[in-house]
Amino acid sequence: SLSDRLTGTFANLRGKGRLSESDVNKTIRDIRMALIDADVALPVVKEFTSAVRERATGAEVSGALNPAQQVIKIVNEELVGILGGNTRELTLAKRPPTVIMLAGLQGSGKTTFAGKLGARLKEQGHTPILVAADLQRPNAVTQLEVVAERAGVSVFAPERGNIGGHDAGAAGEGTRSFGDPVSVAREGIAHAQSRQHDVVIVDTAGRLAVDADLMQQAADIRTAISPDEVLFVIDAMIGQAAVETAQAFQQGVGFTGVVLSKLDGDARGGAALSVARTTGRPIMFASTGEGVRDLEVFHPDRMASRILDMGDVLTLIEQAERAFDAGQAEEMQRKFLAAEDFTFDDFLQQMAALKKMGSLKSMLKMMPGMGQMAAQLDNLDEREFDRVEAMVRSMTPFERNHPKQINGSRRARIARGSGVQVSEVNQLLERFGEAQKMMKQLARGGGMPGMPGLPG
Ligand code: GDP
Ligand code: MG
């Protein structure tokens, strides 16, 4: 498998410093295949891989990962970045009702999603109503009524007698016929207002392929009701056509967010990347079945690993990084314990090492027996850190190695040299003495029995 190949090929290439062009190219070839397999649109594949190549070439190789893993890590981060760009919740209107319009091809899952969203909003304490503005087929209204009933929410539908035979572009002819989707949408909102519904979900018509009449009708509805959100529903199985369809809807109607439907199927979700990359709109929901509860908030990280289909490689990368961190922590602990008599020189060295590694606190928390110290450090900010360092640097080598010999006049000199109060030097020496005792105890017994919260 791809995973085996990636782990196998590069297994012996750790710690090479920087990613070379050939490291990157080898892996990019595999990534390209994975993206194409996931049905990401070809122009998006091209653009994406060249962006990754640019970022990855010359990037530093962390000690934990081999070059291939490093590239995949970058790919994954980029994917999550694109899929998670502008991630947000539904925008609710300051003055209700919030109007949410649905747009998308026929069969994309709009009507089904209307019910799901209604049910979800109802659970959250809203009083949503669905409006049937798809009048292309008489049974579209019936379908929405069934969906609304399943979701346990209200529905506004035109009278049946007036449906049918209407042109998609018939809006704006001055008639107030229930057969006109623009009028129905308007009346639905007025109805919602009068009945205190705080969210209106407007279902619209779609055709099997993008067509001008359909776009015009949806655009007219949008203009008439100025919705707070226009959600573009797209079938995850749409494959290569995702870009063209999304662009057509973006230009023809415009939308504020995306709903990816039928993610319960085999689709690897390439459409998600295609749509997010070409429209820049956030994917907000994932529809995962025909049932009214089959709706999830969209998770960029899950989608990224579905598209890459490298869940096991990503897990491996995570494990490798964690193991590497733990290895460094162990090394630190060994150094701590080996210090026969902990001196200020050791202290300076430790501090430099810890600073280099980033987070002192998180390192200490990983060391057995150091939780208490890490907790104390929570109150210590970086500036205080610098003051401590200044004080230690003002000590002579003798003083650093013999802290107990630092008498009053030496303390005054250290304080002057480092620009702090004598009381601060006193405090440091006191704390240092305690730490020294703790180190010895740890070195001897490998733990501190009797102290709550610490492993014995
Ligand atoms: P619309 O034409 O955009 O309103 O699409 P519909 O809501 O009528 O859905 C078209 C078909 O897809 C119906 O048979 C739905 O049951 C089905 N469908 C919609 N969403 C999903 C989904 O997330 N998963 C699955 N498996 N089927 C879905
Ligand atoms: Mg429908």
Domains delineated in the chain: 2-86 (1.20.120.140), 98-297 (3.40.50.300), 339-445 (1.10.260.30)
What is the arithmetic mean of pLDDT over 130-144? 91
Do residues 14 and 69 make contact, with C-beta atoms less than 8 angstroms apart?
A: no
Both tokens of 63, joined, read 């000690």
Separation of CA 114 and ligand 2 centre (Å): 9
Place of tokens 């200490």: 364
Tell how far the Cα of 186 is from the centroid of ligand 1, in angstroms.
25
110 is in an annotated binding site: yes
Q: How far is the CA of 134 from the centre of ligand 1 (A)?
A: 15
Question: Ligand 1: which atom is nearest the Cα of residue 265?
Answer: 26
Residue 330 predicted with pLDDT over 80: no
> Hey, whose CA ends up nearest to atom 9 of ligand 1?
109
Q: Is 15 annotated as a binding residue?
A: no
Please give the pLDDT value at position 385: 72
Tell whether residue 106 is among the known ligand binding residues: yes
Ligand nearest to the CA of 107: 1
Q: What's residue 79's pLDDT? A: 93
Pairing of strands 283-287, 257-261: parallel
* Residue of 101, 112, 113, 116 to mutate, ligand 1, most atoms within 8 A of C-beta: 112
Q: Indicate yes or no: pTM above 0.90.
A: no
Report the pLDDT value the prediction gives residue 402, as an integer from 0 to 100: 86
Q: What is the mean pLDDT of residues 131-151?
A: 92
Kindly indicate the confidence band of residue 217, based on its pLDDT and cuts at 50, 70 and 90: very high
> Which H, E and C letters describe 237-280, residue by residue?
HHHHHHHHHHHHHHHHCCCCEEEEECCCCCCCCHHHHHHHHHHC
Q: Do the annotations mark residue 179 as ligand-binding?
A: no
Give buried/exposed letters for 347-382 (b at 16+ CB in 10 A, else e): bbebbeebeeeeebbebbebbebbeebbeebeeeee
Please check whether residue 390 is in contact with residue 383, taking contact to mean a CB–CB distance below 8 angstroms: no
Residues 17-39: tens digit of each pLDDT: 678 888 888 889 989 999 999 99
- Read off the pLDDT of each residue in 334-350 and give the average, rounded to a whole number: 67
Q: Which residue is closest in CA terms to ligand 1's atom 19?
A: 109
pLDDT tens for 384-408 read 677 888 999 999 988 988 888 899 9
Q: List the helix and strand counts (H, then E) for the chain.
A: 19, 8
Query: How much is the pLDDT for 166?
Result: 41
Q: Which of 244-248, 343-347, 427-431 has the weakest average pLDDT? A: 343-347
Average pLDDT for 242-265: 95
Given pLDDT bands bounded at 50, 70 and 90, which one contains residue 326?
confident
Ligand with the closest atom to the CA of 295: 1
Characterize 151-170 residue by residue with b for buried, 16 or more Cβ atoms within 10 angstroms of its Cβ, and e for exposed.
bebbbbbbeeeebeebebeb
Query: Got the DSSP string for 302-340?
Result: HHHHHHHT-HHHHHHHHHHHHHHHHHHHHHHHHHHHH-S
- Is 108 labelled a binding residue? yes
- Residue that wins the pLDDT comparison between 345 and 197: 197
Spacing, Cα 329 to ligand 1 middle (Å): 52
State the Cα angle at 216 between 211 and 217, rounded to 5°: 105
208 or 305, higher pLDDT:
305
Question: Which tops the pLDDT comparison, 249 or 397?
Answer: 249
Question: Which residues line the pocket of ligand 1, CB cutoff 6 A?
Answer: 104, 106-112, 206, 261-262, 264-265, 287-290, 294
> Mean pLDDT over all residues of the chain?
82
34, 62, 47: which is closest to 312 by C-alpha? 34
Ligand 1 midpoint to CA 281 (Å):
22
What is residue 8's predicted lDDT score, i.e. its pLDDT?
44
pLDDT at 97 over 50: yes
Q: Can you tell me the ipTM of this complex?
A: 0.99
Listed residue (327, 432, 449) closest to 373, CA to CA? 432
Question: What pLDDT was estimated at residue 433?
Answer: 82
Gap between the Cα atoms of 53 and 75, Å rounded: 9
Residue 199: strand, helix, or coil: strand
CA–CA distance, 156 with 178 (Å, rounded to integer): 11
The atom number, within ligand 1, closest to the CA of 288 reads 23
Atom of ligand 1 at shortest distance to CA of 261? 23
Average pLDDT (277-303) is 94
Q: Select, from the ranges 41-50, 135-144, 346-355, the one with the highest average predicted confidence (pLDDT).
A: 41-50
| The pLDDT value given to residue 61 | 76
Annotation-wise, does 204 bind a ligand?
yes
Pocket test for ligand 1, best of 120, 207, 245, 261 (most atoms within 8 A of CB): 261
Q: Angle 422-445/311-338 helices, nearest 10 degrees?
A: 100
> Any binding-site annotation on 207?
yes
- Say yes or no to pLDDT of 226 above 80: yes
- Give the pLDDT score at 444: 61
Q: How remote is the CA of residue 246 from the centroid of ligand 2, in Å?
A: 18
Q: Kind of pairing, strands 283-287 and 295-297?
A: antiparallel
Rounded CA gap, 244 and 390, in Å?
63
Q: How far is the CA of 347 from the centre of ligand 2 (A)?
A: 69
pLDDT at 204 over 90: yes
Ordered DSSP codes for 119-152: HHHHHTT--EEEEEE--SSHHHHHHHHHHHHHHT
Q: Across-strand partners of 424?
A: none
pLDDT, position 338: 60
pLDDT grade for 452, boundaries at 50, 70 and 90: very low
